[in-house]
Amino acid sequence: MLRNKLLTKFRVSTQIFRRGWIFALLGVWLAIGLHGCNPAGMRSNAAQTSELVTSILSDVKTFNYALSNESPNIFPLTFEGLISENPLTGEIEPALAKSWQISEDKLKITFTMRDGLKWSDGKPLTVDDVVFTYNDIYLNPDIPTDTRDILKVGEKGLLPTVKKIDANRVEFTTPEPFRPFLGVTGLPILPKHALKESIDQRDSEGKPLFLAKWGVDTPVEEVVVNGPYKLARYQTSQRIIFQRNPYYWQKDPQGKPKPYIERVVWQIVESTDTGLIQFRSGGLDSIAVSPEYFSLLKAQEEQGNFKIYNGGPAATTTFVMFNLNQGRRNGVPLVDPIKSRWFNTVEFRQAVAYGINREAMINNTYRGLGELQNSPLYSESPYYLSPEEGLKVYEYNPEKARQLLVKAGFRYNERGQLLDQDGNLVRFSLLTNTGNRIREAIGAQIKQDLGRIGMTVDFTPLAWSAFLDRLDNTMNWEMSLIGFGAGFEPNSSANLWTPDGGSHMFNLKPGPGSKPIEGRVVYPWEARIGELYVKAAREFDETKRKALYAESQQLTQKYLPLIHLVNPYSLAAVRDRFENIQHSATGGTFWNIPDIKVRNAVVN
């Protein structure tokens, strides 16, 4: 399952995610939840103590990065990797490694570590920690970590090798040239001296003790980290308090240690409406601004001593899709063969695209705070192909939609209802998850829009677990509304576009342990898109790489396995007392927290 733990400062857009749609949903929840409720009592002497107070939606599930599979989590504040990605530019920047060198054959990356690195307990952080993290944890088959999927290279999913060169250098070797691999090395480095014993020792079932290491019941002082903050206190269902890590490596030009903010408090709260109330009353330092809150908060900016930041289009995609899987389980089709014929007709999908009024979505659901989305690639990616550059788009045109349907053999009865060539009424279900008011509003509009071109849509929001079960396990669904994470590097979505990928939702291949299906068909255009992603990952020439991704976008827009909708703006309100806020759609509000200051606070 895709993990939200990587949608943070450590987010590396070159990662291959196995469950991207979960990523997109959890990313939205986290963005809202990190700005929830905070009792006023926690705000006393905030300026003097240099404190930042935000909130999360629920308790964290583990302090162990490798075993984390939930949102929210502590890792944006507590761990760093060899490199990081600048969310403003998409550039790869040094972190624990001060430099790197890529071999001429593009198979090796050699990192040189910074001098004098230390863990939060004062022990040295060395090359040995890097080799341990990758070989003993991430690449260890006895450790069930999703991170291993991120490290797989190419269509065969081969793994890299990691070895120590000397006291300052570590070498990564990939089985084939893999352009996005540099970004993958942003995975957090973990402490060998604190975790090695738990890897080597086994329980009564022969499993490493590491699988029970650093649970949320662990005393916080035992959790050793390398990020800007360390755990100071965890009170279940109440709050998590982080204290500045005195051994963090970053310093400012004057030699003062970073981060500047002494303490970060995450209140645990489940209500975003309560969070709005607390922010307006001064109990919160920041809040994610959803469309329904924007007008109210915008009018109070000056009076409330805060500013609303706009990070531009959010680093996610939102789309509807039809189940194109023509396979069968135990002789029973996954999709009703009559409906499957509709869904697998290109003109049908194109007609649906023309029939959805996306401009109305922007104006009504997003209150004007968004823009049309026409590509699976993030619009800020250097590989994005714009409509001006030739990308096919589907502007709202119900008449054109009707013409396409008639051309494809459909017809209308005297009541204006759409029938197929055999006289079957075109009726299907649209699923999404409950609890997401934006998606529920979008689904209701799609039902109405498609009704205008004669289609009957049964819109049914489901509980998240039930929705995922339909998509991932039973594959018993017809049309779905969902989202996917996006970033500067298109390969972050490779598993969505390769036919055997674990996120290839619209024509999913059963995963390990799932019931097999027979008769699954992969279209030539579908295979070609997957081939383009593999080729682009091997290509180091930027011009050629852009051409490969341009072709992939043209194919996705022609054949429409996904019909992209609207990209909202990434908005956040932050108190004026904080300096150097650089809100970003890809990094969030506090991605550069080591550089953020509280005005008039005393920095020790």
Q: What DSSP line would sit under 487-527, residue for residue?
A: -SSGGGGHHHHSTT-TT-GGGPPP-TTSPP-B-----HHHH
Tens of pLDDT along 264-273? 999 887 777 8
Residue 42's pLDDT band (boundaries 50, 70, 90)? very low
Task: Lowest mean pLDDT of 367-376, 429-438, 539-548, name the range.
Answer: 429-438
For residues 218-245, average pLDDT: 96
- Residue 260 forms part of a structural domain: no
Provide the CA 159 distance to its chain's centre, in angstroms: 23
Task: Provide the pLDDT for residue 328.
Answer: 96
Going by DSSP bridges, is the β-strand pair 229-235/239-244 parallel, antiparallel, or unpaired? antiparallel
Q: Average pLDDT over the chain, rounded to whole?
A: 89
**Predicted confidence band at 155 (pLDDT cuts at 50, 70, 90)?**
confident
Q: Say how many domains are in the chain.
A: 1
333 neighbors 324 (Cβ within 8 angstroms): no
Q: Please, what is the Cα angle at 468 between 528 and 436, to 5 degrees?
A: 105
Q: Between 486 and 11, where is the model more confident?
A: 486
Q: What is the pLDDT of residue 197?
A: 97
Enclosing domain of residue 418: 316-568
pLDDT at 89 over 50: yes
**Cα distance between residue 501 and residue 17, in whole Å:** 9
35 has pLDDT over 50:
no
The answer, yes or no, to whether residue 16 has pLDDT greater than 90, is: no
What is the per-residue pLDDT across 544-556, written as a single tens digit (0 to 9) for each?
Answer: 999 999 999 999 9
Mean pLDDT within 183-207: 95
Residue 457 lies in a domain: yes
Q: Quick one: average pLDDT of 283-293? A: 90
Q: How do beta strands 108-113 and 97-102 pair?
A: antiparallel
Q: Which amino acid is at 256?
A: K
Domain-embedded: residue 233: no
SS3 573: strand
| 147 confidence band (pLDDT: 50, 70, 90) | confident
Amino acid at 114: R
Greater confidence, 271 or 460?
A: 460
Question: 87 near 591, Cβ under 8 Å?
Answer: yes
**Per the domain annotation, does 542 fall within a domain?**
yes
In the predicted model, what is the mean pLDDT of residues 137-159? 88
Q: What is the pTM of this model?
A: 0.81
Task: Check residues 317 and 195 and name the one with the higher pLDDT.
Answer: 195
pLDDT at residue 93 above 90?
yes
Tell whether the model's pLDDT for residue 460 goes beyond 50: yes
Does pLDDT of 492 surpass 70?
yes
Position 86 in a domain? no
Q: Which two tokens stand for residue 403?
A: 């013409």
User: SS3 string of 275-314?
Assistant: HHHHHHCCCCCEEECCHHHHHHHHCCHHHHCEEEEEEEEC
Are 382 and 90 in contact, with CB atoms under 8 Å apart? yes
Does residue 473 register a pLDDT over 60? yes
Helix (H) or strand (E) holding 338: helix 337-343
Whole-number Cα distances in Å, 237 to 35, 267, 386: 16, 8, 46
Report the half-sphere exposure of 167 (CA within 13 A, side-chain side): 4
> Domain for residue 173, yes or no?
no
pLDDT of residue 604: 57
Residue 166: pLDDT above 50?
yes
Instruction: Please give the pLDDT value at position 435.
Output: 76
492 or 526, which is more confident: 526
Is 380 within a domain? yes
DSSP 149: H
Predicted confidence band at 602 (pLDDT cuts at 50, 70, 90)? Answer: low
Taking residues 146-172, report their average pLDDT.
91
| CA dist 263 → 246, 251, 325, 582 (Å) | 12, 17, 51, 19
User: Does residue 509 sit within a domain?
Assistant: yes
Start-to-end Cα distance in the chain = 42
CA atoms within 13 A on the CB side of 459: 18
User: Phi, psi at residue 371, to the nearest 5°?
Assistant: -145, 165
Q: Are 564 and 375 in contact (CB under 8 A)?
A: yes
Mean per-residue pLDDT for 253-276? 89
pLDDT of residue 266: 93
CATH of residue 481: 3.10.105.10
Q: Compute the average pLDDT of residues 509-524.
A: 88
- Percent of the chain at pLDDT exceeding 70: 91
Is 50 exceeded by the pLDDT of residue 46?
A: no
The pLDDT, as a whole number, for residue 29 is 35
CB contact set of 360 (below 8 Å; sequence gap of 6+): 396, 445, 449
**According to the model, what pLDDT value does residue 603 have?**
55
Find the length of the chain: 604
Confidence check: pLDDT of 40 > 50: no
Task: Give residue 10's pLDDT band: very low, low, confident or very high (50, 70, 90).
Answer: very low
By DSSP bridging, strand 316-322 and strand 479-485 are antiparallel
